[in-house]
Structure 1
Amino acid sequence: MDYYDLIIVGAGPAGSTLAWALRHSGKRVLVLDKQPFPRDKTCAGWVTPAVLDSLDIDPEDYCAQHTLQPIRRFRIGMMGQPAVENDHGDVVSYGIRRCEFDHYLLSRVDADCKLDTAVTSLQRDDRHWLVNERWRTPLLVGAGGHFCPVARLLGDGPGRHETVVAAKEVEFQLSPQQAEDCAARGDTPELWFCRDLKGYAWIFRKGRYLNIGLGREDNHKLSEHLARFVADMQADGRIPADLPGRFKGHAYLLYDHAERPLLDDGVLLVGDAAGLAYTQSGEGIRPAVESSLLAAEVLRLAPDASARSLQPYGEAIAERFGTRSLQRHDGWQLPDWVRTSLAGRLMRSHWFTRKVVTEKWFLHQQVPPLALASQGR
């Protein structure tokens, strides 16, 4: 039976970042994922310069072999209204393909990795976990997304009392004719808010690829909202008339609405498994990366895997992302003061859509990159 100081369940951005950040810690780490890599991961997929800085990624180096779409503008509107386009001048974000980005992050990990390997059993023995009756560890790290099996060990588990965001999206390579017919531009993602302000849709062109999707705070009539949006965008020429394949569904939690604990004796959650997606945008890559970097700092110093030793991680998350109990509200993307008859007017304002929607809610430009003492370097 193999022993590890910690086992990370999930090899996406959260799991691979944690393993990468611990590469000089002297800890023996195992990363498990139920899928082989590279794997298909449909996602609108953008990362800000702050994320690349935190991960020590040189954009020029990355784009030499991977899709990296510079973003300088955003086109924002409410469904049924004209859109507002804002030019930010400089590059404010980058479009990535998750199948490439996640594989790239995992390729930098020098820990043991077992891919295409599902977690089939978790047993507690004294102060250790036995995983799949094969690996033994004092600490399990859940990094496997909303339905991560490690998250089921904490509280009531995922999905029982939580408001879940449901989304459907598709990503495909444009044919030459589709590329010519598609009015959406690569450097200008489009965000279209639902009329009831309980979700939004997007159109995101990344080089030769196009991503289209819609997410809402619940799955009530999600397919109807999506079908109506797609039909409207096709009629306007924003997207091709012939979309291939099916839209794929996924779910995640927004930070202010998540109720699952972040840690317990021998258990710690990062990324979407912890419910850390930004409340106003649903974006989860930056919270996944930053939560894992914060976890790595704590794990370097923790004398054991007890909840008491891991508690500084919970405190670091609250300091970085805010205290959930103090900022919870009923709305999803938009605060209550926006959910009024003024919403339509605000969404036609260049100042509001740029300074509030884009720069604050989606790009979090007011939050500097996470700077840690070691950061695995």
Structure 2
Amino acid sequence: MEAYDVIIVGAGPAGSTLAKALESSGKRALLIDKQTFPRDKTCAGWVTPTVMETLKIDLTDYSNGRTLQPIRRFRIGMMGQAAVENNHGRVVSYGIRRCEFDDYLLGRTNTPKQLGTPVKNITRRDGNWLIDDTWSAPLLVGAGGHFCPVARLTGDGPGSHETIVAAKEIEFEMTHEQARACKARGDTPELWFCRDLKGYAWVFRKGNYLNIGLGREDNHKLSTHLQDFVATMKSTGRIPEDLPDRFKGHAYLLYDHSGRPLVDDGLLLIGDAAGLAYTQSGEGIRPAIESALLAADVIRQAPDFSATSLQAYGDAIAERFGHRGSVAEENFQIPGWIRMPLASTLMRSHWFTRKVVTEKWFLHQEVPTLAAGTQCAAF
């Protein structure tokens, strides 16, 4: 049996960030992931400059052999209406491929790793967690996404009682002919909101790679919504006629709709395992990174790994992201009783689509970078 201080299940952005942040803490950590890296990850794949700054990523180094698509504009509309295009006049985000981004972050940590290793069995014995009767630690961190095996140990675990966002998408490298025919531009992602405001679709070009998808809170007839959207985009020439057949699915929880406990005795959840995706946009990368850094602070300072000591992490999450149940009304700019009647008009407004949809909901420009002390301690 190999003993560690912390075992992190999931080596995506949340897990790898936490592992790196703990390297100078004196805590001996182990990263476990069921996949080998690089691996495909279903995700639209864009990050804000704040994420790159928080992680202290050298953009020149990162772009050497990897996709890094600067984004300066957004094209936004409601399905069935004409889109509005806004030029921000500067780089406000970057398009990345998750297979590259996650592998890059994982490659920066010297933490011991067990990749290609699905967690089959988790037991508790004498204050320690035993993973597959091979590794043990007093603290177990769930960073394995929505269906993380560690999340099953807290509350009611993942299941039908949760209101999830379900999404289907595809990312592929276009042929020369497809790239020439595709009207979508790399520096201008397209966001198309469903008329009932229960989700949105996107077309996102990153160099020769094209990412297309649709996500909805109400996943009823998700495939039908996606097929209709793809057909419309094809008929208007926004995307090539010949797409790969198989769209991949994934699920996640919005922060304001998630009821997952974040901590328990010897347990802590970060990233999508904790249900931290932003309520309006569904973005999970920035919350994943920041939750990992907040967790690292608590782990470094906690006198023990009891639920009482780890609750400092839950308090830090609430302070950073707001208290669950109040986030949606605080962030949404228009009262609920006029959302539907005004939605069609608002989505034709340059001011609303730029200041509210893009800058507030998707870029979170009003949210300051995580405290410098937290970042410095990590990197």
- TM-score bracket for the superposition, by shorter chain length: over 0.9
Distance 2:335 2:112 in 1: 44
Which residue does the alignment assign to 1:365? 365
Specify whether residues 287 and 333 from structure 1 end up closer, same or farther in structure 2 by C-alpha distance, changes over 3 A only. Answer: farther
- Paired residue secondary structure (1:268): strand
Which residue does the alignment assign to 1:37? 37
Which residue does the alignment assign to 1:268? 268
Which residue does the alignment assign to 2:169? 169
**Which residue identity lines up with residue 128 of structure 1 in the other structure?**
N
Shift of 1:159: 2.2
Deviation readout 1:97-124 (Å, 9 max, x if unpaired): 0000000000011111000001010000
Distance 1:334 1:121 in 2: 47
Which residue does the alignment assign to 1:99? 99
Distance 2:334 2:148 in 1: 28
Distance 2:174 2:126 in 1: 55
Q: Is the 8 A contact 2:196 2:340 kept in 1?
A: no
Q: Structure 1 segments of 4 or more deviating over 6 A? A: 331-335
Distance 1:30 1:318 in 2: 27
Distance 1:278 1:227 in 2: 26
Deviation readout 1:301-357 (Å, 9 max, x if unpaired): 11111111111110110010000033356x999862552211000000000000000
Which residue does the alignment assign to 1:194? 194
Which residue does the alignment assign to 1:356? 356
Which residue does the alignment assign to 2:81? 81
Asked if 1:181 corresponds to 2:181, the answer is yes
Which residue does the alignment assign to 1:4? 4
Q: Is the 8 A contact 2:279 2:328 kept in 1?
A: no
**Which residue identity lines up with residue 269 of structure 1 in the other structure?**
L
Which residue does the alignment assign to 2:134? 134
Distance 2:325 2:186 in 1: 38
- TM-score, length-scaled by structure 2: 0.97
Q: Within 5 Å, which residues of 2 pair with 1:1-377? A: 1-327=1-327, 336-337=336-337, 339-373=339-373, 374-377=376-379
Distance 1:210 1:127 in 2: 48
Specify whether residues 332 and 284 from structure 1 end up closer, same or farther in structure 2 by C-alpha distance, changes over 3 A only. Answer: farther
Deviation readout 1:217-244 (Å, 9 max, x if unpaired): 0320000000000000000000000001
Q: Is the 8 A contact 2:333 2:356 kept in 1?
A: no
**Which residue identity lines up with residue 214 of structure 1 in the other structure?**
L
Q: Is the 8 A contact 1:46 1:95 kept in 2?
A: yes
Distance 1:335 1:167 in 2: 27
Q: What number of residue pairs does the alignment pair up?
A: 376
Q: Is the 8 A contact 1:281 1:333 kept in 2?
A: no
Distance 2:295 2:255 in 1: 17
- Paired residue secondary structure (2:339): coil
Q: Is the 8 A contact 1:217 1:332 kept in 2?
A: no
**Which residue identity lines up with residue 141 of structure 2 in the other structure?**
V
Distance 1:332 1:248 in 2: 30
- TM-score, length-scaled by structure 1: 0.97
- Paired residue secondary structure (2:340): coil
Over the matched positions of the two proteins, sequence identity in percent amounts to 72
| RMSD, aligned α-carbons | 1.5
